[in-house]
A and B are shown apart, each in its own frame.
Chain A
Amino acid sequence: MTGILLYASLLVPITGGLLLVAQKDSPNTRDVISVVTAAILFAIVLSFYPAVLAGDTPSVTLAEPIKGLGITFTVEPLGLLFATVASGLWILTTIYAVGYMRGANEANQTRFFLCFAISIAAAIGIAFAGNLLTLFVFYEMLTLATYPLVTHKGNEDARRGGRIYLGILMGTSIGLLLFAVLWTYQIAGTLDFTAGGILEGKASPTIALILLTLFAFGTGKAALMPFHRWLPSAMVAPTPVSALLHAVAVVKAGVFTVLKISVYIFGIDFIAETGAGTIILWVAAFTLTAASLIALTKDNLKARLAYSTVGQLSYVIVGAMLANSAAIAGAAMQIAMHAMGKITLFFCAGAIYVAAHKTEISQLDGLGRRMPYTFAAFFIGSVSIIGLPPLGGAWSKWFLLMGSADAGQWILMGLLLLSSLLNIAYLMPIVGRGFFRPLPADEAARLPAGTIEEAPLNCVVPLCLTAAGCVALFLFGDAIYNYLQPILSAPEAPAADQ
């Protein structure tokens, strides 16, 4: 039964996508199919929880293209967390996208929703990958499926963005990631994700250091500097794409890959003993500081959010490289917390574009009073990203700080705190402008003061829900921590005996 459900989790989005194409002449049916597909997928993903909570890791093998190496899917806690985040937010994004795409009059909506569905299938494939080969296969599929979304507008800008996008993501994945995968296979003789890792005792510390560095840089989707350029370029895509894919599915697939490789290929203890993460730890620390500084200089709202994402992703990498249980917990939580926060911010950016056709931060003066729900949600999302209670983001930042303290990395701790300050500096002024600056004179004259002029309901409801989600995640912090417990105390976990 779980086997069928596992296949279904991949097939449902694709089937939904194909149904969309068949229904392309009636937009209403098409959009209903989108939402229903997303809901079914979410239900399937949730249905795995009882088994995983009981310590099971259901697994199926689809085919064996290379002798001894299958396309295998295995559900384990970390992957299930990522799948839940991606599929759950997909529902909201679909509802939002319907409103946005109609509101903004985008062309080729059927192709848009089809590629979107394939991307989600690929993200689920990454989440449930049972070995590195499977993960790599779906990682590449995700790149290719999102490419038409990035170039959706088809103009010169979109084309240039698409070229950078494909060039960096394919270049790093084939040039570095594939190489690291093959090398690992050669050393370990297997690529299965195994609790406690597969490299211990087989790779010398030097090789482990090189391999982990290759893996982290090779996962271009994790947007470590200097391979982060694709993410700002991808912002030429319509906002729902930026929201779900470039704040959640694609980028989280990247850091999830790094985290999963750290936990299940290297093993937390092995990284801690050999110091294999040293180089990447400091690259990530540099990235999260530098990206925040760059975000400060951006006036385009989506560009600022993109650089903010680059920075926030590196928190996950930092957690994975610190390799102690608090840090890993922080890293895993950051995947969920940042997803919820950042999707809220992107939803807001899209709503502002649809309702007021504004894209630059300097144009937002006084808009908060016209769009109070949107700006309130933006405020909540920002605070969660910064990492203050009572919002979800507080937990991940807290565990990461604890993790760096445990590892005795005081400089790093300082950098993390500095970065939080920088987060305040680049996010809060946006809310401030909206609420406290007066509207420009011509705008104020157009409508009487106090008039509310929000985006369509389809756009506003999802963003309010995700903002509420940020609050809810704060309340469930403890539950998530307990849920992650099996991967934190690795070696005797049941995943080893499959």
Chain B
Amino acid sequence: MEMPVPRPEILARKAELVERLLEVLPADAVISDPAETRAYECDALTAYKCPPLVAILPGSTEEVAAALRICHEMGVPVVPRGSGTSLAGGALPTADSVILGVARLNEVLETDYDNRFIRVQTGRTNLSVTGAVEEYGFFYAPDPSSQLACAIAGNIAMNSGGAHCLKYGVTTNNLMGVTMVLMDGTVLDLGGAHLEAEGLDLLGVVCGSEGQLGVVTEATLRILRKPEGARPVLIGFDSNEVAGACVSDIIKAGVLPVAIEFMDRPCIEATEDFAKAGYPMCEALLIVEVEGSDAEIDEQLGLIEDIARRHDPVEFRQSRSPEESAAIWLGRKSAFGAMGQINDYMCLDGTIPVSQLPHVLKRIGELSKQFGLDVANVFHAGDGNMHPLILFDANKPGDLELCEDLGSEILKLCVEVGGCLTGEHGVGIEKRDLMTHQYAPEDLEAQMAIKDVFDPKWLLNPAKVFPLASSDARRVA
């Protein structure tokens, strides 16, 4: 993965930079010892590592602004970092950059149940946002699988999703307002406890901008009352086509499940070996979850059963208790762990139109054979967000590169059938060089124009999202 060459004139000014940062930040918030900056050398895309020049951990919006002002004046690139759980390399530093970690910004600032929002500092973890309101029966809907660790700042940067998006949407649909700091230290508020943008929807652009437009320090998030109950069913099929048709029929019938998860045979086999959830051995498996009161759940599941039966399932298992529900989810939730047990794996994140599911799975099978690497598929089937897991051996020379090449082919396939490169993980460095497959030069130009306005010197997380060749002229400026 190519990254820009660190600029010697910045490396040479490290001492001055540290000194100036120490004027505006507490001593323990400025990390410059190479032994310690190594802790920030990568995120969850661990194949790529580079310690930053300095890491800082500001404790307030004002400190963030003061630190950014200094970096802006000195022309030092800044890489914002939430909890470092990005699978796309969104928080990967360069040797001449400052990592700005929001970990110390973790307070709940306001909870308002009448108006149904919570205002938090963005270093707070996703799950702890729900934790702050669940006593009153509320929750924060976006639930990325890293939710125990990932920070709201990173969720906003990547517009994170989760398994329940079909009903509740992703981060951008649940974000009401932010306080953010621009690269030049300007602090501004967008949105708030009210709905709708004033003028242009800048909040909508900031969400998902991968830390390239500003550092979001506070967020107003929509909270929802928990449903009375939720229950899954597990349905097994002897072909991917039939499972895909069943998903489509459920949706067409007017039932809106809160989640429809799909696993293919390689994934079922791996998770059974690992978690022994008692899944049927079949080609394709769906987990469909619905919400509401007991009677409402019964009614919806009854409809789903009618539809599923028309497709001759090899198994239809309805949960009758919380224990049975947990058992149904067990295999799905262990899928990634199961893969890790077998080998190293790379998790892809393309989205496809649901109707293309059988075709795409068939093509992935062929590509897997061609490259000689196993691929298992877990899939948010309701919204078409795929997570092909490619197994490889990091210790075997050339295997990572082979895996990346296969990953690229799969993502190009997603784009070809009308989908996209990434549904919820973000572009980062991982998919940066594939952007030209989805977007024409003028499409990328329009996106980069946004960054020109928010960060004219291109100092914030500069080497991400856009192919280096496209952003070259801007980054040098």
- Are A and B part of the same complex? no
Which residues of A are at the interface with B, using a C-beta cutoff of 8 A? none
